[in-house]
Amino acid sequence: MTIPSLGAGTFRLQGQAAFDSVRNALEVGYRAIDTAQIYGNEAEVGQGVAGSGIARKDLFLTTKVWNENLAGDRLVASLEESLEKLRTDYVDLALIHWPLSKVPVEEYMVALATARERGLARQIGVSNFNIDYTRRAIAAVGAAQIATNQIELSPYLQNRKLVEFLQGQGIHITSYMTLGYGKVLEDPVIAAIAERRKATPAQVALAWAMQLGYAVIPSSTRRENLASNLLAATLVLSEQEMAEIAALERNGRMVNPEGLAPVWDV
Protein backbone atom coordinates (compact mmCIF):
# COMPACT_ATOMS: atom_id res chain seq x y z
CA MET A 1 0.00 0.00 0.00
CA THR A 2 1.13 3.54 -0.65
CA ILE A 3 0.59 6.73 1.32
CA PRO A 4 -1.10 9.53 -0.65
CA SER A 5 1.29 12.35 -1.45
CA LEU A 6 -1.22 15.05 -0.48
CA GLY A 7 -3.78 14.89 2.28
CA ALA A 8 -5.75 17.26 4.50
CA GLY A 9 -4.58 17.73 8.07
CA THR A 10 -6.87 18.57 10.99
CA PHE A 11 -4.41 19.73 13.66
CA ARG A 12 -5.91 22.47 15.87
CA LEU A 13 -9.34 22.11 14.27
CA GLN A 14 -12.17 21.58 16.71
CA GLY A 15 -15.92 20.99 16.55
CA GLN A 16 -17.69 22.56 13.60
CA ALA A 17 -14.43 23.87 12.14
CA ALA A 18 -13.05 20.32 11.96
CA PHE A 19 -16.24 18.98 10.40
CA ASP A 20 -16.42 21.80 7.84
CA SER A 21 -12.76 21.42 6.90
CA VAL A 22 -13.11 17.67 6.29
CA ARG A 23 -16.34 18.15 4.37
CA ASN A 24 -14.81 20.87 2.18
CA ALA A 25 -11.59 18.91 1.66
CA LEU A 26 -13.47 15.86 0.43
CA GLU A 27 -15.75 17.93 -1.77
CA VAL A 28 -12.85 19.67 -3.55
CA GLY A 29 -11.03 16.40 -4.18
CA TYR A 30 -8.94 15.26 -1.20
CA ARG A 31 -9.08 11.56 -0.43
CA ALA A 32 -6.66 11.44 2.51
CA ILE A 33 -7.47 12.87 5.96
CA ASP A 34 -5.07 13.01 8.92
CA THR A 35 -6.20 13.24 12.54
CA ALA A 36 -5.05 12.11 16.00
CA GLN A 37 -6.50 11.10 19.33
CA ILE A 38 -5.12 14.19 21.05
CA TYR A 39 -6.68 16.53 18.47
CA GLY A 40 -10.06 15.80 20.00
CA ASN A 41 -11.76 15.83 16.61
CA GLU A 42 -11.97 12.20 15.51
CA ALA A 43 -15.76 12.25 15.91
CA GLU A 44 -16.09 15.33 13.68
CA VAL A 45 -13.73 13.79 11.13
CA GLY A 46 -15.83 10.64 11.16
CA GLN A 47 -18.99 12.68 10.75
CA GLY A 48 -17.52 14.52 7.78
CA VAL A 49 -16.37 11.31 6.14
CA ALA A 50 -19.68 9.54 6.76
CA GLY A 51 -21.63 12.38 5.19
CA SER A 52 -19.42 12.66 2.13
CA GLY A 53 -20.95 9.76 0.22
CA ILE A 54 -17.45 8.63 -0.78
CA ALA A 55 -16.84 4.88 -0.58
CA ARG A 56 -14.59 3.92 2.33
CA LYS A 57 -12.24 2.06 0.00
CA ASP A 58 -11.55 5.32 -1.82
CA LEU A 59 -10.43 7.15 1.33
CA PHE A 60 -7.19 7.07 3.29
CA LEU A 61 -7.63 7.80 7.00
CA THR A 62 -4.77 8.31 9.43
CA THR A 63 -4.91 8.65 13.19
CA LYS A 64 -2.23 8.79 15.86
CA VAL A 65 -2.16 7.10 19.27
CA TRP A 66 -1.59 9.46 22.19
CA ASN A 67 0.92 8.92 24.99
CA GLU A 68 -1.52 7.91 27.70
CA ASN A 69 -2.56 4.98 25.50
CA LEU A 70 0.88 3.60 24.68
CA ALA A 71 0.98 0.91 27.36
CA GLY A 72 0.57 -2.44 25.65
CA ASP A 73 -2.69 -3.27 27.41
CA ARG A 74 -4.23 0.07 26.46
CA LEU A 75 -3.14 0.77 22.88
CA VAL A 76 -5.42 -1.64 21.02
CA ALA A 77 -8.47 -0.61 23.07
CA SER A 78 -7.76 3.08 22.43
CA LEU A 79 -7.52 2.45 18.70
CA GLU A 80 -10.85 0.64 18.81
CA GLU A 81 -12.31 3.75 20.46
CA SER A 82 -10.83 5.88 17.69
CA LEU A 83 -12.45 3.68 15.06
CA GLU A 84 -15.81 4.07 16.75
CA LYS A 85 -15.46 7.85 16.67
CA LEU A 86 -14.29 7.76 13.07
CA ARG A 87 -17.24 5.51 12.13
CA THR A 88 -15.04 2.96 10.39
CA ASP A 89 -13.81 -0.58 10.90
CA TYR A 90 -10.18 0.32 10.22
CA VAL A 91 -7.79 3.18 9.58
CA ASP A 92 -5.44 3.04 6.67
CA LEU A 93 -2.57 4.24 8.84
CA ALA A 94 -2.10 4.24 12.62
CA LEU A 95 0.90 6.05 14.08
CA ILE A 96 2.55 6.40 17.46
CA HIS A 97 2.20 10.17 17.91
CA TRP A 98 5.32 10.80 20.03
CA PRO A 99 7.98 8.46 21.37
CA LEU A 100 7.60 7.95 25.10
CA SER A 101 10.60 7.14 27.29
CA LYS A 102 8.68 5.77 30.28
CA VAL A 103 7.11 2.99 28.20
CA PRO A 104 9.51 0.67 26.33
CA VAL A 105 9.45 1.30 22.59
CA GLU A 106 9.15 -2.43 21.99
CA GLU A 107 5.96 -2.57 24.07
CA TYR A 108 4.01 0.00 22.08
CA MET A 109 5.40 -0.95 18.68
CA VAL A 110 4.50 -4.60 19.21
CA ALA A 111 1.04 -3.53 20.42
CA LEU A 112 0.62 -1.38 17.31
CA ALA A 113 1.70 -4.30 15.13
CA THR A 114 -0.89 -6.44 16.94
CA ALA A 115 -3.56 -3.86 16.10
CA ARG A 116 -2.56 -4.14 12.47
CA GLU A 117 -2.73 -7.93 12.58
CA ARG A 118 -6.24 -7.67 14.01
CA GLY A 119 -7.31 -5.51 11.07
CA LEU A 120 -7.70 -2.25 12.98
CA ALA A 121 -5.09 -0.58 10.74
CA ARG A 122 -3.90 -1.39 7.24
CA GLN A 123 -0.48 0.17 7.87
CA ILE A 124 1.40 1.37 10.95
CA GLY A 125 4.16 3.87 11.59
CA VAL A 126 5.55 6.53 13.87
CA SER A 127 5.58 10.29 14.27
CA ASN A 128 8.16 12.64 15.76
CA PHE A 129 10.71 9.85 16.14
CA ASN A 130 14.36 10.85 15.93
CA ILE A 131 17.02 8.44 14.62
CA ASP A 132 17.55 6.77 17.99
CA TYR A 133 13.86 6.08 18.60
CA THR A 134 13.39 4.96 15.00
CA ARG A 135 16.22 2.46 15.43
CA ARG A 136 14.46 1.08 18.50
CA ALA A 137 11.17 0.84 16.61
CA ILE A 138 12.91 -1.02 13.80
CA ALA A 139 14.48 -3.40 16.30
CA ALA A 140 11.02 -4.10 17.72
CA VAL A 141 9.00 -4.77 14.57
CA GLY A 142 11.30 -4.41 11.57
CA ALA A 143 11.68 -1.51 9.15
CA ALA A 144 9.31 -3.11 6.64
CA GLN A 145 6.41 -2.68 9.08
CA ILE A 146 7.01 1.04 9.58
CA ALA A 147 5.16 2.73 6.73
CA THR A 148 6.18 6.29 7.57
CA ASN A 149 7.68 8.68 10.10
CA GLN A 150 5.55 11.83 10.24
CA ILE A 151 7.90 14.68 11.14
CA GLU A 152 8.03 18.46 11.17
CA LEU A 153 9.66 19.39 7.89
CA SER A 154 9.61 22.61 5.88
CA PRO A 155 11.96 24.72 3.76
CA TYR A 156 13.13 26.22 7.08
CA LEU A 157 13.59 22.81 8.78
CA GLN A 158 14.72 20.23 6.28
CA ASN A 159 15.76 17.55 8.80
CA ARG A 160 18.40 16.22 6.43
CA LYS A 161 20.13 13.85 8.84
CA LEU A 162 16.89 12.14 9.84
CA VAL A 163 15.61 12.13 6.25
CA GLU A 164 18.79 10.42 5.03
CA PHE A 165 18.47 7.77 7.72
CA LEU A 166 14.79 7.09 7.01
CA GLN A 167 15.34 6.85 3.28
CA GLY A 168 18.19 4.42 3.90
CA GLN A 169 15.78 2.24 5.86
CA GLY A 170 13.07 2.45 3.20
CA ILE A 171 10.75 4.36 5.54
CA HIS A 172 8.51 6.93 3.85
CA ILE A 173 8.52 10.52 5.12
CA THR A 174 5.39 12.51 5.86
CA SER A 175 5.96 16.23 6.32
CA TYR A 176 3.82 18.21 8.71
CA MET A 177 4.08 21.94 9.29
CA THR A 178 5.34 22.18 5.70
CA LEU A 179 4.24 25.82 5.54
CA GLY A 180 5.84 26.69 8.87
CA TYR A 181 2.69 28.17 10.40
CA GLY A 182 2.62 30.52 7.41
CA LYS A 183 6.12 31.92 7.93
CA VAL A 184 7.43 30.10 4.86
CA LEU A 185 4.76 31.82 2.77
CA GLU A 186 6.32 35.20 3.50
CA ASP A 187 9.79 34.15 2.37
CA PRO A 188 11.03 36.26 -0.59
CA VAL A 189 12.62 33.26 -2.34
CA ILE A 190 9.37 31.29 -2.16
CA ALA A 191 7.40 34.37 -3.22
CA ALA A 192 9.64 34.98 -6.24
CA ILE A 193 9.26 31.39 -7.42
CA ALA A 194 5.50 31.63 -6.93
CA GLU A 195 5.33 34.81 -8.99
CA ARG A 196 7.34 33.28 -11.83
CA ARG A 197 5.20 30.17 -11.79
CA LYS A 198 1.90 32.02 -11.40
CA ALA A 199 1.35 29.89 -8.32
CA THR A 200 0.80 30.59 -4.65
CA PRO A 201 3.65 30.41 -2.11
CA ALA A 202 1.83 27.51 -0.44
CA GLN A 203 1.73 25.60 -3.71
CA VAL A 204 5.47 26.14 -4.16
CA ALA A 205 6.36 24.90 -0.66
CA LEU A 206 4.09 21.87 -0.94
CA ALA A 207 5.35 21.05 -4.44
CA TRP A 208 8.94 21.24 -3.16
CA ALA A 209 8.21 18.66 -0.46
CA MET A 210 6.30 16.33 -2.77
CA GLN A 211 9.01 16.58 -5.40
CA LEU A 212 11.46 15.31 -2.78
CA GLY A 213 9.20 12.31 -2.29
CA TYR A 214 7.49 13.36 0.93
CA ALA A 215 3.79 13.21 1.69
CA VAL A 216 2.24 16.48 2.91
CA ILE A 217 -0.85 17.12 5.05
CA PRO A 218 -1.59 20.88 5.12
CA SER A 219 -4.72 22.01 6.93
CA SER A 220 -7.04 24.94 6.37
CA THR A 221 -10.45 26.14 7.48
CA ARG A 222 -10.97 27.91 4.15
CA ARG A 223 -12.39 25.97 1.22
CA GLU A 224 -10.52 28.10 -1.33
CA ASN A 225 -7.18 27.40 0.34
CA LEU A 226 -7.89 23.67 0.44
CA ALA A 227 -8.67 23.73 -3.28
CA SER A 228 -5.62 25.84 -4.06
CA ASN A 229 -3.26 23.62 -2.07
CA LEU A 230 -4.50 20.60 -3.98
CA LEU A 231 -3.10 22.13 -7.19
CA ALA A 232 0.43 21.82 -5.76
CA ALA A 233 0.41 18.24 -7.03
CA THR A 234 0.55 19.54 -10.61
CA LEU A 235 3.40 22.02 -10.06
CA VAL A 236 6.87 20.83 -11.12
CA LEU A 237 9.80 22.96 -9.94
CA SER A 238 13.10 23.22 -11.80
CA GLU A 239 16.39 21.97 -10.37
CA GLN A 240 17.41 25.60 -9.83
CA GLU A 241 14.21 26.36 -7.93
CA MET A 242 14.64 23.24 -5.80
CA ALA A 243 18.19 24.35 -5.02
CA GLU A 244 17.02 27.84 -4.07
CA ILE A 245 14.54 26.36 -1.60
CA ALA A 246 17.13 23.92 -0.26
CA ALA A 247 19.29 26.93 0.65
CA LEU A 248 16.56 28.21 3.00
CA GLU A 249 17.42 25.66 5.72
CA ARG A 250 17.85 27.37 9.12
CA ASN A 251 16.90 24.69 11.67
CA GLY A 252 13.63 26.55 12.10
CA ARG A 253 11.87 24.07 14.32
CA MET A 254 8.47 25.23 15.59
CA VAL A 255 7.16 22.13 17.37
CA ASN A 256 9.34 21.20 20.33
CA PRO A 257 7.18 20.49 23.40
CA GLU A 258 9.18 20.36 26.60
CA GLY A 259 9.12 16.97 28.25
CA LEU A 260 7.69 15.35 25.15
CA ALA A 261 10.11 15.91 22.28
CA PRO A 262 13.12 13.62 21.87
CA VAL A 263 16.65 14.93 21.36
CA TRP A 264 16.51 16.07 17.75
CA ASP A 265 19.10 15.08 15.17
CA VAL A 266 21.03 18.11 13.87
Distance CA(152)–CA(148), nearest Å, equals 13
What b/e sequence results for 60-70 when a residue is b if at least 16 CB atoms lie within 10 Å of its CB, and e otherwise? bbbbbbbbebb
- pLDDT of residue 17 exceeding 80, the answer is yes
Q: What angle do CA 179, 185, 191 make, to 5 degrees?
A: 135
E strand or H helix at 163: helix 160-168
- pLDDT score, position 72: 87
CA-closest candidate to residue 242, choices 177, 155, 172: 155
Residues 56-63, mean pLDDT to the nearest whole number: 98
Domains of the chain: 8-180+214-221 (3.20.20.100)
Residues 25-29, mean pLDDT to the nearest whole number: 98
- pLDDT of residue 1 exceeding 90, the answer is no
E strand or H helix at 175: strand 172-176
Which pTM value belongs to this model? 0.97
**172 is annotated as contributing to ligand binding:** no
Hey, which residues does 157 pair with through a beta bridge? 154
Render pLDDT for 94-128 as a digit per residue (tens, 0 to 9).
999 999 999 999 999 999 999 999 999 999 999 99
Distance CA(66)–CA(98), nearest Å, equals 7
So which residues are the catalytic ones? 39
